Amino acid sequence: MTITLYGIPNCDTVKKARTWLAAQQIEFTFHDFKKQGLERATVEAWLAQLPWDVLVNKKGTTWRALSDERKASTVDAASALALMLENPSIIKRPVLDKDGQFSVAFSDAQYKTLFSL
């Protein structure tokens, strides 16, 4: 099983997911997309499985700081892809890659289901 957790280390939800995985003794790689960046292919893979409006965090401060024009122009996967690559902080966190299956956000119940615990 290959697991990568994408996010930023100071995000509270990412911290909870990392703590949960460690407590379950599940090995994973953490990818800090602020420091390590994001490949276009990675975000495209996410978008192949997940709706763009699930990946784009419209409740966060990054979204609220965007111009009204930029918000209005984010209407599909292609425009969301460009926005996420330009500004990774807009991505709802964390994104979990478990053997090529992707999940967004964190809750104890969600991860128990994902890992069949």
SS (H, E, C) the chain: CCEEEEECCCCHHHHHHHHHHHHCCCCCEEEECCCCCCCHHHHHHHHHHCCHHHHECCCCHHHHHCCHHHHHHCCCHHHHHHHHHHCHHHECCCEEEECCEEEECCCHHHHHHHCCC
Is residue 11 annotated as a catalytic residue, yes or no?
yes
Out of 5, 8, 10, 11, the active site residue is 11
Decide: 4 and 101 in contact? Cβ < 8 Å. no
* CA-based end-to-end distance of the chain: 15
The catalytic residue positions are 11
